[in-house]
Amino acid sequence: MHSKHDLPDASSSGRMNQKIRTRQAIIEACRGLIRSGSAVSIPEVARVALVSEATVYRYFPDLPSLVNTAIVSLWPSPAEALAPIAHSTDPVERIAFAAEIFLRRVQAYQGAVRAMIAATITQPEGPATRPKLRFDWIDEALAPAEAMLAQTDAEAFTQLKRDLAVVVSAEALFTLTDLCGLSPDEAISTAARLARTITAAALCDGSPTLR
C-alpha cells in the first residue's frame, strides 16, 4: 500500500507541464516572426506569445539564444541544402550553389538575422553567441577538395575557409543591399560569384589537378 508521500505530486507535474507549454509558445511565437521576415525582438515575441517580457527572459537569457532555438527547424542542414548537387565533386560549383542558397535563406529571415547581429554587436561580452551556420555550409561545399588540399597546404585551405566566411555571410549580403544599393537578387548573385572566384583562385594556386 502506497503512502501519500509515494504518490506523484500533481501540482508539481502541472507546473512542469505549464513551463514546457510556455517555453514552446515562446519558441513558436519567435518562429512565426522569423518566417514572416519581420523584425524580431523580445517585446514582439512576448506580445505574440501572450506572455510578459520577464517571462521570455526566464526561459531565454537574450534574443540570440531564443532565435538560435527557434530557427533550428527552419534552416536545412548543409547536406540537405546541397542535395541537388550532391553528385558534383567540383568545389567551385558547390560553393557557388551553397552561397546562393544560404544567402537566400538569410534574406528570407533577415528580420531575425539583423536583430541577432545587432544584439551580439552591442553586447559582445554578453552570454549571446551567434550561430556559425556558414562554416558548416562552407565545409560541406568544400568536402570534395578537403582531403587533397588539406594535405598539400593545410594553412591555405584554412585561409580559404576564412575568406569564404567573409563572403558567404549576412554581413556581406546586407552591405551589398544597404550600402551598395543592390537588389537582393543582385546582391546574392554578386556574393555567389565572388565565392566562386575566391575558391577557383585558391584551387589553382594550391592544387591545379582539382580543376
Question: What would the pLDDT profile of 164-175 be if each residue is shown by its tens digit?
Answer: 999 999 999 999
Q: Is pLDDT larger for residue 13 or for residue 20?
A: 20
Mean pLDDT confidence for 92-106:
97
Distance, in Å, from the CA atom of 56 to the CA atom of 53, rounded to the nearest integer, reads 5
Distance, in Å, from the CA atom of 124 to the CA atom of 96, rounded to the nearest integer, reads 31
Q: Which three cell numbers stand for residue 97?
A: 550553389
With contact defined as beta carbons under 8 Å apart, do 145 and 68 qualify?
A: no
pLDDT digits (tens, 9 = 90+) for 182-211: 999 999 999 999 999 999 998 886 543 344
pLDDT digits (tens, 9 = 90+) for 28-68: 999 999 999 888 999 999 999 999 999 999 999 989 889 98
Would you say residue 156 has pLDDT above 50?
Answer: yes
Distance, in Å, from the CA atom of 2 to the CA atom of 183, rounded to the nearest integer, reads 70
